[in-house]
Each structure stands twice: as structure tokens, then as C-alpha cells.
Chain A
Amino acid sequence: MNTSTQAPFALEVSGLTRTYGEGVGAVHALAGVDLAFPSGTFTAVMGPSGSGKSTFLTCAAGLERPTGGAVVIDGQEITRWSEDDRTRFRRERIGFVFQGFHLMPYLTAEQNVGLPLRLAGHRPDRARVRSLLERVGLSDRAGHLPGTLSGGQQQRVAIARALVTGPAVILADEPTGSLDSRTAHDVLRLLRSLDDRTVVMVTHDPVAAAYADSVVFLVDGRVAGRMDAPTADAVAGQMAHLDDLVAVEAAS
């Protein structure tokens, strides 16, 4: 499944649309999004509530089939694939980090990290799992169940799990939304330190977005701007400005 040719973009979407419902009541969650995420970059996708951030993420991950447009991951166009094919592709080429951690409560940290490999039918390489846990700073917690770990520790286990298959892209959905600011800082620094990986993080927090190499702004299902080398203040200022734009558009 892995083409050896290194695509310049780990994730590329073009003309992406997603419409819920039909006719007058139709909601255009995504109204034509073109974005490309170069390999090895950390990008934040920001936008106000209802801007289509989460829909973008589920479509990009192949969890949901877009109404129109294309999603190309690692050189492969996956939108027309069957559910099973997309699932198989997803678990090998996409790493997921969720706001709610999504660890299996009855598996230890080590078993949780190895789970994607197991689901793909491989026996997890113990040394690899251990080294990933070490990389996220939890080598001494390998045998612990999620219930005995703090929120920050659980999220770090989840990041190790996202890395275990060596994915082309890591998609993170508000990864710090359930963490306090100090723990959030650690998790974001960890995400930024993965410079051999492409990370796309959806967030509404300017402070979190400032950890990324660049920020993409979404408004009403469209790309409304882009900022390189962001700072929290600049992102917050841009967000306020975006809200103005939305108000103007709504009034017209």
C-alpha cells in the first residue's frame, strides 16, 4: 500500500465539499476547501464554531466521505474507496489524536500503543512500542491502565499510539481541549518535536495554534486566510478579524 515515491505533500485536499441535508435546509459544512500540507510540517487549522473544522478533519481522515472533491494522502486518492479499504488505509497511514484521548480503558499503556498494529494484523514490536513510550516520556508507565494515568499522560500515550504505525500524517482534534495549560504546553511541545512527521491540528485556541509552523483559518467552510510563524497574539487578532468578516458577510 505504501508507494515508495515520497509525495511532496503528506495531505492534500482539493475542492473539498461536504453538505448535510438537502434543499433549503442544506448545511454546507465545507464549501470548497483547497489545502496542501507539506511533509514534515506542523499546521494548525483554526476557525470559529461551525466553521467546518471537525468536518474537515473527518473527511481528510477518510472517516467520512465528502460530497465532492478529493483527498490525497501520501499520494493516494482515498475518497472513492470502500469503507473497509479506507479503514485499512487509515490505520496504517493516519495517526489520530483526540480531545478525549480515546484510550481503551481495559488495555495498559503499552497495549494501547500497540493496538493499531494489532488491528492491522501485526504483532506489535515490543522494542518499538517501548521506544515510543520513552519518546513521550512514559517509559515507566508502560504497564499502567489509563484510569491510573493523568490527563496529560493519557494524551501522551495517545500520541505514541498515533505514531506507532509510522503514519504519513497525524491528525489531532483539539488535543489539548481537555488539559490544563501546563499539561497542554507539554503535549504541544511534544507534537512540535515530531519534526519528522506531518501534523495537522484542529483547534480554536490561539495559544495552541501558536505552537504550529503555520495556521490556516476556516470560516463558513472556506479557507479565509493563512499565517506563517504564528504568535498567540497575532492569531487571536486574526480570529477577531475573522469574526468581523463573518458578521459583514451575514449582514450583506
Chain B
Amino acid sequence: MTGLALRSLRHRATAFTATFLAVLLGTALIGSFATLIQTATGPVSSTDGETLMVLGAVVGGWGTLIVLFSVASTLAITVRQREVEIGLLRTIGATPRQARRLIRLEALVVAILAALGGSLVAAVGGRALLAMLRNGGLVADDVAYGGGVAALAAAAAGVVLTSVLAASIAGRRATGGPATVALAQGASESGRMRWWRVLAALVLIGYGLAMGVVTITVSADSADPYDAMATSGSSSILVGVGLALLAPLLLRWLSVLARPILGRSGPTGHLAAYNTSRRSHLLSGVLAPVIVLTASSIGTLTLVGIDGRTLAGGVSTPETHTINVLNNVVVGMLSLFAAIMVINSFAAVVSHRRAELNRLWLLGATPGQVRGSVLAEAWVVAGVGVLVGAAAALATIVPFGVARHEGVVPDGQLWLPPLLAAGVVLLTLLSARSAVRRVAPAAPAGQPALR
């Protein structure tokens, strides 16, 4: 089985690039913050230790949530792409257990390689992060980098473990039915959600909203103005990830609203309208990172804006400066990560549908119409994602705004959320365009596949 897994990996290097990238970046992100925690346990003063600990745990915690979620959803997409091949393996005698083991082993190998690479990046990134904290005066200048193998290994192990767990779940789903090589092209794979997924989503959303309530009722009156930020800062990300877990449901419901608009935009819109609502489980893999990206960027950057306007009469102390920089760095890193996930998952979803898009062309759709229908789907995903993500961002903006006496609507920078939303929409459309360009039916060249 191990030999087969390795050979299968080499044969399909590009398909696993998505997983590799997600794990690599994820480990780099989590690992960088994990080194802060390890530094905190070293020979530093108790105040510095506490600062580092809080930063590592709180900021690293949000990141971990997003990273683990992304790695799991990427793996689910790659495994689903191979359902036919897995069916073939089973018809020639592989037991479901063997097929699952193959999937797990492949995931393990890719995850270990990527996590090693990510750890190296984190070793550099952790040092850079600490240097930034020192320069900003958030910790004393004599705090030495204490990160090492322990922190990096823990981060890497966590990501690898998640990957294998996600592969197990995806494998269980892929081997659940009877063995068959028949292309189940007509089968409308049901996007039924497992109870634990709904539960996890509700817990995350509930926790995020609770933190918002705590911000307004408790920490708004706290002496330290940063207490409000600590309680409300992560709410948008928590609620965002929670809603992202519900992405298939949200897409199914909300894309129905888009139907009248799409119906008027010709055959491409018509196709997109039904594909997004009836096969929401496919596109939800793209919708999830769009929601998280929108929620975290709008939520956190608006929070930074409110903070800048309301704190200490606008006086900029080194501490406020550092916290601003840190917030921006976190948003930057998470946005980069989520952006790559959007591109990644769109490429995976579209390449999964290569046969179906070819079919559309056989039925008389021009290549332009085929591309157009995928782009129309991207519009729906972007629209739903931005809408839901912006709603999630309110979980941070409203409590923090109330706590800092700006009220429910922030006093300034109201141009920021629309700008960020436009950026997210653009990113989604561009990744759809590049994905579909790669698989668009190559009409005259070669022999078209009739079957």
C-alpha cells in the first residue's frame, strides 16, 4: 500500500500541490506564533512572558482555526476528485479499508513534506515576528528568540494530524458506497452535512457572539482599553469560520435569491443559478475561504480604524503603534492565506468538472458560454461570500464600536468595507477565470472525448 501511495503521489503531483501549499503556509503561520509561546517560557521577565504568551495564544489561535479548516477542506476536495479512481481500485479487489489507508498515506506523505518546509519558513518568520515586537517596544529589547524544535514540531504535528484526520473523514465518505467504476455523472451527490459539522459551526458562531456580548457588558468598562479588543477582536473570525462551515447550506439558500437576476443574464446565468444551488457542496469549498477572508479582513481592519480614532485622544504611543502593526500583519497573513485558498479551491473545483464542462460544449455551448457559466458561478459565490462575511465582521465591529463609544456604526473609514469587499470579489472572479482557462474545452485540437 505504501508503494502504491508513493507512486500515486508522483503520478499526480499537480493535484496534490493544493494540499501541499495549504499545509506549508498553514505550518508557517501557526509555527511563527508558536515560537512566541516557546520564547515566553524562556528567560524573560514575567510581563514580557505574558505579552508573548497572549500574542502567541490569541493571535496564533485564530490562525490555527483558519488553517486547520482550510487544510481539511482542501483535502476533502482532492479526495472527492478521485472517487472514480478509488472505485476502480475497489473493483479490482481493494477493500474499503485499504482504499482509505491509501488516501491517508498519501495525505500523510504530502503533509509531512509540506510541514517540514513550513517549519523552516516559521523558523525565519518567528524571528521576524519577535524582532518586530522588540522594535515596537512591546517586549524588552533583551528578549532573545527562544523558539526551537519544540514549538515548530508542535505546530507541524498539529497540522499533519489534522490533515490525516481530514483524509480519514474524506476517505470514509469516498468509500461509503458500493464499489463501482461507473462514472456517476448523473448522480446528484447529496450535500448532506454531518451533525458534528453543524454543531461545530453553531459553537463557533455562539462563542463569537458571546464574546461580543461580553465586550459590550464587561470589558467596555475595563480600565485597560485593550481588554475590549481582546474580547471582540477574534469574534469576526470565529463567526466567519462558523458560517464557513455552513457554506453548503448558505450557498443553497442564498443562491436561490440570485436566481431571478441570473435568469435574466442568458443561458450562462441560467446554468450557474442551478449549479450553485443544486450542487452547493461542490462550490462551498470555494465559498468557505471567501467568507473567512471577508470576515477577517473587514472585521480586523475596521477594528484597527476604530482603535486609532478613539484611543488616548489620538496620541500614538509605541504600544498602540505595535498593536496596530501586529493587527495589520495578522490581517495580511490571514488574507494572503485565505486568498491562496480561494485560488486553490477554485482550481480544484473547476478541474473536477472538466468532463462536465466538455459535455456542455458537446451539447452546443460555445467555449465562451462554458467559460461564462463558470464566471457566473464565481459571481454568485463572491456575492454570497461577501454578504455572509460582512455579516460575520459585524460581530467584531459592533461590540468594539459600542465599547469605544462610536456606536453601532463606526465614525469613519466607512469606505473600507466596500473596498475590501470589492477586492474579494475581484480575487474570486480572477481565480475562476484562471481556473477555467486551464480546463476550457480545447475544441479543434485532438479528438474530442465523446464519452
Write the residues of chain A forming the contact surface with B, with a CB cutoff of 8 angstroms: 20, 54-55, 57-58, 63-65, 83-84, 87-88, 90-92, 96, 98-107, 111, 115-116, 118-121, 145-149, 154, 161, 173
A121 touches B450 (CB 8 A): no
Contacts of A148 in B (CB 8 A): 188
B186 touches A154 (CB 8 A): yes
> Whole-angstrom distance from the CB of A74 to the nearest CB of chain B?
15
A-B contact pairs, 11 of them (CB 8 A): A64-B444, A83-B443, A87-B361, A87-B367, A100-B451, A101-B186, A106-B279, A107-B271, A116-B363, A118-B270, A119-B365
Residue of A nearest to B272 (CB): A106
**A-B interface pairs (CB < 8 A), number:** 104
**B187 within 8 A of partner (CB):** yes
Query: Which positions 332-373 of chain B face chain A at CB distance < 8 Å?
Result: 356, 359-369
Contacts of B448 in A (CB 8 A): 58, 63-64
Given A58-B448, A107-B274: A63 and B362 interface contact (C-beta under 8 Å):
yes
**B447 within 8 A of partner (CB):** yes
Interface string of B270-303 (1 = CB under 8 A from A): 1100110111000000000000000000000000
Contacts of A58 in B (CB 8 A): 447-448, 450
Given A63-B362, A87-B364, A96-B362: A104 and B267 interface contact (C-beta under 8 Å):
no
Interface string of B253-281 (1 = CB under 8 A from A): 00000000000001100110011011100
Complex Cα distance, B369 from A106, in Å, reads 17
Complex Cα distance, B451 from A105, in Å, reads 15
> Whole-angstrom distance from the CB of B173 to the nearest CB of chain A?
17
Complex Cα distance, B385 from A61, in Å, reads 41
Complex Cα distance, B426 from A219, in Å, reads 54
The 5 closest A-B pairs by CB, nearest first: A91-B364, A147-B188, A146-B186, A106-B278, A118-B267
Given A58-B450, A121-B267, A147-B188: A100 and B183 interface contact (C-beta under 8 Å):
yes
Interface centre among B364, B365, B366, B367 (most CB of A within 10 A): B364
Complex Cα distance, B279 from A73, in Å, reads 37
**B185 within 8 A of partner (CB):** yes
Contacts of B271 in A (CB 8 A): 104, 107, 118
Contacts of A84 in B (CB 8 A): 366, 368
Residue of B nearest to A20 (CB): B447
Contacts of A102 in B (CB 8 A): 185, 359, 362-363
A64 touches B185 (CB 8 A): no
Complex Cα distance, B272 from A111, in Å, reads 13
Contacts of A147 in B (CB 8 A): 186-189
Given A100-B185, A118-B267: A83 and B356 interface contact (C-beta under 8 Å):
no
Contacts of A101 in B (CB 8 A): 185-186
> Whole-angstrom distance from the CB of A53 to the nearest CB of chain B?
10
Interface string of B152-196 (1 = CB under 8 A from A): 000000000000000000000000000000010111110000000
Given A54-B450, A121-B267, A154-B186: A106 and B363 interface contact (C-beta under 8 Å):
no
Interface centre among B189, B277, B363 (most CB of A within 10 A): B363
B278 touches A145 (CB 8 A): yes
A119 touches B444 (CB 8 A): no
Given A100-B183, A119-B267: A64 and B363 interface contact (C-beta under 8 Å):
no
Interface string of B422-451 (1 = CB under 8 A from A): 000000000000000000000110011011
Contacts of A116 in B (CB 8 A): 363-364
Given A106-B278, A145-B278, A146-B186: A55 and B447 interface contact (C-beta under 8 Å):
yes
Complex Cα distance, B450 from A119, in Å, reads 19
Complex Cα distance, B368 from A179, in Å, reads 33
A106 touches B362 (CB 8 A): no
Which of these, A87, A100, A103, contacts B365 with CB under 8 Å?
A87
Interface centre among A83, A91, A104, A173 (most CB of B within 10 A): A104
Complex Cα distance, B363 from A173, in Å, reads 13
> Whole-angstrom distance from the CB of A141 to the nearest CB of chain B?
13
Complex Cα distance, B364 from A100, in Å, reads 17
Complex Cα distance, B448 from A81, in Å, reads 17
A87 touches B267 (CB 8 A): no
Residue of A nearest to B276 (CB): A106
Residue of A nearest to B269 (CB): A118
Contacts of A96 in B (CB 8 A): 362-363
Residue of A nearest to B367 (CB): A83
A98 touches B451 (CB 8 A): yes
Complex Cα distance, B302 from A81, in Å, reads 56
B186 touches A103 (CB 8 A): yes
Contacts of B366 in A (CB 8 A): 83-84, 87-88, 119
Contacts of B185 in A (CB 8 A): 100-103, 105
Given A101-B185, A104-B356, A107-B274: A120 and B451 interface contact (C-beta under 8 Å):
no
A106 touches B364 (CB 8 A): no
A105 touches B267 (CB 8 A): no
Contacts of B274 in A (CB 8 A): 106-107, 111
Complex Cα distance, B447 from A26, in Å, reads 14
Contacts of B187 in A (CB 8 A): 105, 147
Interface string of B415-427 (1 = CB under 8 A from A): 0000000000000
A64 touches B365 (CB 8 A): no
> Whole-angstrom distance from the CB of A27 to the nearest CB of chain B?
11
> Whole-angstrom distance from the CB of A55 to the nearest CB of chain B?
7
Contacts of B188 in A (CB 8 A): 105-106, 145-148
Complex Cα distance, B448 from A55, in Å, reads 9
Residue of B nearest to A174 (CB): B451
Complex Cα distance, B273 from A118, in Å, reads 13
B360 touches A104 (CB 8 A): yes
Contacts of B450 in A (CB 8 A): 54, 57-58, 63, 98-99, 173
> Whole-angstrom distance from the CB of A88 to the nearest CB of chain B?
7
Contacts of A20 in B (CB 8 A): 447
> Whole-angstrom distance from the CB of B191 to the nearest CB of chain A?
11
A120 touches B279 (CB 8 A): no
Which of these, B186, B361, B368, contacts A105 with CB under 8 Å?
B186
A120 touches B186 (CB 8 A): no
Given A99-B451, A106-B278: A149 and B364 interface contact (C-beta under 8 Å):
no
> Whole-angstrom distance from the CB of A67 to the nearest CB of chain B?
12
Complex Cα distance, B368 from A173, in Å, reads 26
A64 touches B447 (CB 8 A): yes
Residue of B nearest to A106 (CB): B278
